[in-house]
């Protein structure tokens, strides 16, 4: 089936309908109710980040990702057409299985649109269970959390899930949970999105309003539910920023602020391995292009940025994650200088950060 594209820029119409690229370097999901912020990230790099983080702290972060994404799933689908189902009586006459499967397939279109694979419903019994498979799946905990959250919206009761990978297919079995309370609810909240003043003047498509450069950066494979980076060939996904920050907040609550340094070192190492075009261009024009590239992916844009005397000084109030953003800047500087870097944090809050990166 051929995907519908913008006739002017070629961006998938579903992208233009779902996402808003703001002039402050953020991407917002355009839905009523809860405002969600997304970033276009390399799927393999994200998985490597979570795997490495799990190894360094001594336990898997998957269960935290599931819980954080469950909150995201509930926030998204609480304001979509499917919640009307929860007002329909729980019986086979009022809730025919074909109708419930159609509702889940509706969720599946969103899953495919943001690059996580193709959803197939195996079975659904109202008030009992939901079984789905996701072909060409990536980042399994994220997908599991989304389906648990969406199912909770439909059923109006706590749900839980078991899951496993069979090749590149993710099998998810969602069922009613016996838990009455979740102790981690308080920490795994979704950050309130407060967009900053936009300073970027994107060259935008006259029809859909998306940045033209963003449209040229990605290719959407609808049949496989994948987003591909045209230049690198890597697989990208739209990842919920609030989910990522909830993960860090939970780990800090358990292990302390040392988690920030672990995440920084991990992202720095990953970015070092794939410098891409970090070596191209002169210093002045390089940084302009590099920061714009991060902004187009929804990672944020500095309030102030200076490059002088072999160091960069950054102030930013809307990074997708302050720690990971700083690590990307450091990796770029190392690629340019050929020397290791050191970071000095002047401010390191959740909402705002300022730091200096210089040669070590």
- Number of CB atoms found within 10 A of residue 79's CB: 13
Mean pLDDT, residues 277-282: 48
- Report residue 12 as tokens: 């998938």
Question: What letters, b where the CB count within 10 A reaches 16 and e where it falls short, cover 309-334?
Answer: eebbbbebbbbbbbbbbbbbbbbbbb
111 alpha carbon, distance to own chain's centre: 12
pLDDT at position 348, please?
A: 93
Task: Please give the domain boundaries of the chain with CATH numbers for all domains.
Answer: 13-185 (3.30.1380), 257-359 (3.30.1380.20)
Mean pLDDT, residues 216-229: 89
Choose the most confident range, by mean pLDDT, from 88-97, 139-148, 191-200.
139-148
pLDDT at position 239, please?
A: 94
- Report residue 356 as tokens: 């200096």
pLDDT at position 32, please?
A: 53
Q: Which of 63-72, 141-150, 239-248, 280-289 has the lowest mean pLDDT?
A: 280-289
Band of the pLDDT at 280, cuts 50, 70, 90? Answer: very low
Polymer length of the chain: 360
Q: Which of 84-98, 182-196, 218-232 has the lowest mean pLDDT?
A: 84-98
Does residue 66 have a pLDDT over 70?
A: yes
pLDDT per position as a tens digit, 117-175: 999 988 887 778 889 999 999 999 999 999 998 888 777 788 999 999 999 999 999 99
pLDDT per position as a tens digit, 305-344: 999 888 999 999 999 999 999 999 999 999 989 999 999 9
Three-class DSSP category at 228: strand
Does residue 3 have a pLDDT over 70?
A: no
CB of 228 closer than 8 Å to CB of 219: yes
Whole-Å CA distances, 326 to 56, 143, 267, 302, 314: 20, 27, 9, 11, 9
pLDDT at position 215, please?
A: 87
Band of the pLDDT at 279, cuts 50, 70, 90? Answer: very low
pLDDT at position 83, please?
A: 46
Tell which residue, 43, 73, 267, 297, has the closest CA to residue 188: 73
- Report residue 289 as tokens: 């292009």
Mean pLDDT, residues 343-360: 94
191 vs 110: which has the higher pLDDT: 110
pLDDT at position 283, please?
A: 53
246 vs 46: which has the higher pLDDT: 46
**pTM (two decimals):** 0.89
């Amino acid at each position: 089936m051929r995907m519908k594209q913008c006739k002017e820029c070629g961006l998938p119409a579903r992208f233009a309908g779902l996402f808003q690229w703001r002039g402050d370097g953020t991407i917002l999901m355009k839905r009523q109710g809860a405002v969600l912020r997304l970033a276009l990230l390399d799927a393999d790099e994200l998985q490597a980040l979570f795997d490495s983080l799990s190894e360094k702290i001594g336990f898997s972060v998957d269960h935290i990702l599931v819980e954080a994404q469950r909150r995201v799933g509930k926030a998204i689908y609480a304001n979509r057409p499917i919640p009307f189902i929860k007002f329909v009586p729980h019986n086979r006459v009022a809730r025919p299985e074909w109708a419930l499967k159609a509702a889940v397939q509706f969720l599946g279109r969103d899953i495919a649109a943001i690059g996580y694979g193709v959803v197939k419903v195996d079975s659904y019994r109202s008030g009992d269970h939901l079984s789905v498979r996701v072909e060409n799946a990536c980042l399994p905990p994220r997908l599991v959390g989304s389906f648990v959250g969406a199912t909770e919206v439909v059923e109006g009761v706590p749900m839980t899930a078991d899951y496993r990978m069979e090749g590149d297919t993710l099998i998810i079995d969602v069922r009613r949970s016996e838990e009455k309370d979740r102790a981690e609810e308080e920490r795994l909240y979704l950050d309130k999105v407060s967009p900053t003043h936009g300073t970027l003047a994107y060259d935008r498509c006259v029809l859909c309003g998306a940045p033209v450069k963003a449209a040229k950066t990605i290719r959407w494979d609808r049949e496989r539910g994948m987003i591909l980076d045209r230049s690198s060939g890597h697989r990208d996904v739209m990842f919920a920023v609030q989910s990522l920050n909830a993960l860090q907040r939970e780990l800090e609550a358990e292990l302390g602020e040392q988690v920030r340094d672990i995440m920084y070192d991990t992202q720095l190492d990953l970015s070092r391995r794939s410098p891409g075009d970090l070596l191209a261009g002169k210093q002045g024009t390089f940084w302009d292009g590099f920061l714009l590239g991060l902004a187009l992916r929804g990672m944020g844009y500095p309030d102030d940025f200076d490059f002088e005397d072999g160091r960069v000084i950054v102030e930013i109030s809307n990074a997708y994650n302050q720690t990971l953003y700083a690590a990307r800047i450091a990796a770029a500087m190392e690629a340019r200088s050929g020397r290791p870097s050191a970071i000095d944090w002047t401010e390191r809050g959740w909402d705002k950060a300022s730091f200096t990166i210089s040669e070590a």
